[in-house]
Amino acid sequence: RVPEIHDLALSKILRWSDGDERQLRHLHDHSPLDATTLVARYQAEMGHVMGDAKRHREHLVLCIDALFGDLARARAEAALDTP
């Protein structure tokens, strides 16, 4: 089964290794992602993921900034800071 594009993006965001930003830009150029959906999925589905939660959050914010710009980054940070 092929993952839905936002789920695929989240897997890349959590890892955020060399090349992930480039691959996500390519994906976004061909199948546009939605910043709000990325944040909502992250909040709903990534609580169980092992590893450094602060680092994962930083990766999400970096990705949103890279793909959508400052305004989307600020909105994502506000949403992530809301309990």
With b for 16 or more beta-carbon neighbours within 10 A and e for fewer, the 16-42 pattern comes to: beeebbeebeebbeeeebebeebbebb
Read off the pLDDT of each residue in 55-76 and give the average, rounded to a whole number: 95
The one-letter code for the residue type at 41 is R
Mean pLDDT (the chain) is 91
pLDDT at position 83, please?
63
- Does the pLDDT of residue 50 top 90, yes or no? no
